[in-house]
Amino acid sequence: MQFSTRTVTNLSLLTAVSIVLTRVFAVAVPISGHTVLRLSFGEIPVMLAGVLFGPLPGALTGAAADLIGYFINPFGGPFFPGFTISAALTGLLAGLMLGRAKSYTWKQMGMMVAVNDLLTSVVLNTIWLVMLYQLDARIVLPTRIAARLVTIPIYTVVLVLIAQAYRKYSR
């Protein structure tokens, strides 16, 4: 698959924005001495890449943002490839569910964000944290679920507004 210069530029910008939102403008919530919850908006550009450009560009954006972001600022933890898989899946799922659709409803975007966040952030990232730090999932999971109940509506609104603006601008 070949990407146009415009697509590569857009994906690079989304990767950079994701890194800044995840690594600079994030709040860490430690439990048992480990950062088990990081509140940020870094997933929004990755999902946006999937929605606007398709599943493969979304996955590449997520993986690149995680890998490059880790080397710029490890955020206090060791490298763990599971988080890179989760980041890639975030873009992939967005692309599979809504990628390159001509239009979509708020409900469709909300469902995409909810499914995506629950699978990657709640399920997979909790598994990675339990594996990495030998934590009890019953302690970590409630905090992660509560955070997602707050972020899902915010992500949905931001994604719809930005995707609509991008499509209007890129015509």
pLDDT value of position 34: 67
Could you report the average pLDDT of every consecutive run of 10 residues in the chain (171 residues)?
94 98 86 74 98 98 98 85 98 95 92 98 95 90 91 97 90 67
Q: Rounded CA gap, 161 and 112, in Å?
A: 15
Instruction: Tell the residue number behind the tokens 């955020």, with chain if given.
Output: 75
Residues 6+ apart with CB under 8 A from 155: 41, 43, 44, 47, 113, 117
pLDDT value of position 47: 98
Domain spans in the chain, listed from the N-terminal domain onward: 5-169
For the chain, percent helix, then strand, then coil, each to nearest 5?
75, 5, 20
Beta bridge partners of 15: none
pLDDT value of position 26: 85
Tell which CATH classification among 3.30.470.10, 2.120.10.70, 3.90.1150.10, 1.10.1760.20 matches the domain 5-169: 1.10.1760.20
